Amino acid sequence: MAFGETWLPGYPVWLDVCPNVALWDHPPTKHVFARLRQNGITVPGPEVAALCELAGDLKISIVIGVNERVEAGPGNGTLYNSLLTITSEAKLANHHRKLVPTYTERLLWGNGDGRGLSSVETKNGRVGGLICWEHWMPLARMAMHNSGEHIHIAVWPTVHELHQLCSRHYAFEGRCFVLAVGLMMPARDLPYELQAGANTQNQSGEWLERGGSAIIAPNTRYIVEPVYDREELVIADLNLSEIDQEFLTLDVSGHYARPDVFAFETKVK
């Protein structure tokens, strides 16, 4: 079961539609940021423990985007855009922080590290994930391809057309299934401090975040077409043997890697 980018407690779409949020010492922004910090979660922490218990009880794996707050020690004043993978054994198996916050996001989040650039074994196969524009970082993709994903979780705010293209490309390049996961957020849920003058004209109806969640096969076809502008569970059974079929022609970590020409390594602190 997969949830979108910073699903808990929600994506700060106000960065892109509300005026003056980047002004120095802007009281409304400071109030909203404080609330975002207060509602962030710690890793580990009580929310993670509750999710682990839930995953164990239901015998499912959970991949969820979170706004992470560091409780003490280095980095305790910085938030991180993180992706957590929890297995059906009630274990937090991977904790990945977004390497580079995208554009306006740099106002809120710090740079992550490479410790989470891996897939984890689950009863459904090896599961990995990246966050939003990390999918345009070629070396981050390569690290994940080397980890041998069967199922890749691509989390976004909205999986609009460009993000659909990116998710389908990832499925083809990585020879894996991709769950492209978007968020739903109505305009009425903008922080009340920042609603005045918000630019929502380019949005679709009542939704600021429109979803677009989809499930994509290793040959780029849609198993489930993107779902926009409504809340819906997106569910499918996956035939993992399709991965073996597609490796006949392309394996970027194997016969297409050309280690005699290129050298690749991950530097994880």
Radius of gyration of the chain from its Cα atoms, rounded to whole angstroms: 19
Tell me if 132 sits within 8 A of 102, measured CB to CB.
Answer: yes
Element (H, E) at 163: helix 161-174
- 59 annotated active-site: no
Beta-bridge partners for 63:
2, 85
CA end-to-end distance (rounded Å), the chain: 29
- How far apart are alpha carbons 156 and 65 in whole angstroms? 9
User: Which residue in the list 5, 105, 173, 209 is annotated as catalytic?
Assistant: 5
Tell me if 97 sits within 8 A of 68, measured CB to CB.
Answer: yes
Helix (H, G, I), strand (E, B) or coil at 214: strand
User: Which residue in the list 18, 52, 132, 166 is annotated as catalytic?
Assistant: 132
Which residues, at least 6 apart from 107, have a Cβ–Cβ distance to it below 8 Å?
Answer: 15, 21, 22
- 98 annotated active-site: yes
Number of other CB atoms surrounding residue 120 within 10 Å: 20
Tell me if 153 sits within 8 A of 216, measured CB to CB.
Answer: no
Residue labelled with tokens 């994506």:
11
User: Which residue in the list 18, 52, 68, 98 is annotated as catalytic?
Assistant: 98
- How far apart are alpha carbons 89 and 107 in whole angstroms? 36
Q: Which residues are catalytic?
A: 5, 98, 132
